[in-house]
Structure 1
Amino acid sequence: MTDDRTFMIGQAQMRANPLPAALYLVATPIGNLGDITIRALETLTAADIVACEDTRVTRILLERYGIRRRMVAYHEHNAAEAGPKLIAALDAGKSVALCSDAGTPLVSDPGFRLVGQAVEAGHRVVPIPGASSTLAALSIAGLPSDAFFFAGFLPARDGQRRTRLEEVARIPATLIFFESPRRLADSLKAMAQMLGDRPATVARELTKTFEETRRATLGELARHYAEADTPKGEIVVCVGPPLDVPAPEAQDVDRLLLDLARDMPAAKAAGEAAKMTGQPKQELFRRLVELRERGDG
């Protein structure tokens, strides 16, 4: 393979200028190969080293634009070995372009380790922005976008998943999750139970041929995907901010805690009350202990 520093846009052949030594984080399309910036093409063409999650995936993109470059793999399973080699290349004055299989590097991939190593070594890190499934989903969700929180993938185990949802339940922002097709129905059911029946959007296969967007409440979405065939493809779930529900009166919370504590241990009673009131489990547990010490329970 030659070290040709040209790329094609339509029928026009473009030449990329040499890049200063730095680590370049190159966003790549999340599906439609047309969603690539000219600057990203220039960077992938001109960089001394192109590091990517899967060389087979990135090769499809490069061939689409007539880019003929050697690539090296940098992914979760070889980061400990490949990372120092890339830092050594930066030390030697080379330019390194890092891209993931799809979207913006460092979002749900090990690139943050390489960036940390590059920064620690005193190297410049340059963003080459572009496609992002999180922002694409948020933009079409019809949910508040003035504040949002990216929560990544939820744990696979039900108990851990519910604990994580409890942790993010009170964040005053739209929540964004990645999810796998086979876990989608279970995750939506847990979201409806732990977050309340908030408005939400399931965005699937964004920018691809079978792109689908479904908007409803969490409960409605959970029922739909429980009955439907397992969906295919990449999925982003956006969940609206906490519902504007009036806070319960203190005496009502005390009564709820004492009622629950008659049938279950204190810690579990506090957990159940937290789900029902939206108040922190730790505070409810302390309140239950106070009530019992006072002789109310």
Structure 2
Amino acid sequence: MSASFASALDAARAAAAAQHHPQAALYMVATPIGNLADITLRALHVLQLADTVACEDTRHTQSMLRAYGIDKGAAQLLALHRHNEAEAAQDVVQRLQQGQRVAYVSDAGTPGVSDPGARLVAAVQAAGLRAMPLPGASSITTALSVAGAVAWRGAPDGFVFAGFLPAKSAERARVIGQLAHEPRCVVLLEAPHRIGELAQDLAALGARPVTLARELTKQFEEVTTRPAQALREWIDASPQRARGEFVLLLHPVPVAGDGGESLRVLRLLLQALPLRNAVRLAAEITGAPRNALYAQALEWQRAGI
């Protein structure tokens, strides 16, 4: 154990030991995405308390637990990853039925989002058992907090989590073409061996700002915002920039601050023209972004308005 975490374990017991942590429950525990100090006191307490720690990689998790001074034997660690999640989930259910507390951790961050865990929770709930969330680190919210990509200056509210795009080039380009019409902020994830290809494909979005965050919370953390068409050039400028795990945020497409005039024009044109023609003309007449108008027209169409 690192001496710096000895007091953290004491603080965890003091802060969380008096709280109710029922048996026969699955605890979905968020763990750091890089910096070991980004662990919650409640997570430390539950990881000590757990009878079993299910995890993506037992070696990785054992190393993390030892860094915190938490000792779990090999029999207390259960491998549960994307290749065996359905089968291992039944093992977890059996342990819960025996009255165990089971904690699940992914390799980093909040499980069940882009990492395994969703099928596990579904199996546990189907068996009439309880799943309890322990919030904490997430690369998604970490990147959003420093990107300045949330709704402002008339941009649409909220964000869309698209995760990892298809590995095949043609399919990836097709999905990016669809995302081009999404006016809200879009969150993407990518691995180092494909970041160059993704950046090249995102160039089709032209000047749309994209925030790229790599190695979040680690020593070589880097966050930059550039036009989509300039991302590949920035990555290729240094070999270091293609290393690590990536979060990319496609910034929202602002709607012109025209008091709703662009939407009024669009509605009138849709009464007489096909959707694409109406969007094109409305953009030319009002100066509003075509992508934002197209997305709004599709939303009206889906809603039957």
Give the TM-score, by structure 2 length. Answer: 0.75
Q: Structure 2 residue aligned with 1:152, among 151, 163, 166?
A: 163
- AA of the residue aligned to 2:28: L
- Distance in 1 separating the partners of 2:12 and 2:206: 53
Q: Do the aligned residues in 2 keep the contact of 1:8 with 1:14 (CA within 8 Å)?
A: no
Q: Which moves more between the two structures, 124-133 or 91-100?
A: 91-100
Shift of residue 110 of structure 1? 2.4
- Distance in 2 separating the partners of 1:62 and 1:180: 25
Q: Do the aligned residues in 2 keep the contact of 1:26 with 1:40 (CA within 8 Å)?
A: yes
Change (3 A) 1:14 1:162: closer
Match of 2:117 in 1: 111
Match of 2:283 in 1: none
Q: Which moves more between the two structures, 72-81 or 42-51?
A: 72-81
Q: Does residue 225 in structure 1 map to residue 235 in structure 2?
A: yes
- Distance in 2 separating the partners of 1:277 and 1:227: 32
- Distance in 2 separating the partners of 1:211 and 1:33: 14
| Sequence identity percentage | 43
Q: Do the aligned residues in 2 keep the contact of 1:169 with 1:242 (CA within 8 Å)?
A: no
Shift of residue 218 of structure 1? 0.9
Match of 1:8 in 2: 6
- Distance in 1 separating the partners of 2:97 and 2:177: 45
Match of 1:263 in 2: none
Q: Which runs of 5+ in 1 are unaligned?
A: 1-6, 258-275, 284-297
Match of 2:49 in 1: 46
Listed one character per residue, the Cα deviations across residues 155-185 of structure 1 (whole Å, up to 9, x for unaligned) are 1211100121233333332111111223223
Compare CA radii of gyration and give the structure with the larger one: 1
- Distance in 2 separating the partners of 1:93 and 1:136: 35
Q: Structure 2 residue aligned with 1:60, among 30, 47, 63?
A: 63
Change (3 A) 1:11 1:118: closer
Q: Give the SS at the match of 1:102.
A: coil
Change (3 A) 1:204 1:86: same
Higher helix share: 2
- Distance in 2 separating the partners of 1:14 and 1:200: 39
Q: Give the SS at the match of 1:213.
A: strand
Listed one character per residue, the Cα deviations across residues 69-118 of structure 1 (whole Å, up to 9, x for unaligned) are 13111111222321111111112221110000100001212210010011
Q: Does residue 82 in structure 1 map to residue 80 in structure 2?
A: no
Match of 1:266 in 2: none
How is 1:119-158 mapped onto 2 (pairs within 5 angstroms)? 119-144=125-150, 146-158=157-169
Shift of residue 226 of structure 1? 4.0
Q: Do the aligned residues in 2 keep the contact of 1:192 with 1:198 (CA within 8 Å)?
A: no
- AA of the residue aligned to 1:55: T
RMSD: 3.0
- Distance in 2 separating the partners of 1:11 and 1:48: 17
Q: Which moves more between the two structures, 15-24 or 148-157?
A: 15-24
Q: Give the SS at the match of 1:188.
A: helix
Give the TM-score, by structure 1 length. Answer: 0.77
Q: Give the SS at the match of 1:8.
A: helix
- Distance in 2 separating the partners of 1:13 and 1:162: 49
Q: Structure 2 residue aligned with 1:187, among 188, 194, 198?
A: 198
Listed one character per residue, the Cα deviations across residues 195-217 of structure 1 (whole Å, up to 9, x for unaligned) are 34211111000000111111111
- AA of the residue aligned to 1:63: R
Q: Structure 2 residue aligned with 1:95, among 101, 105, 127?
A: 101
- AA of the residue aligned to 2:64: L
- Distance in 2 separating the partners of 1:207 and 1:238: 17
Q: Do the aligned residues in 1 keep the contact of 2:144 with 2:249 (CA within 8 Å)?
A: yes
Q: Which runs of 5+ in 2 are unaligned?
A: 152-156, 257-261, 281-288, 299-305
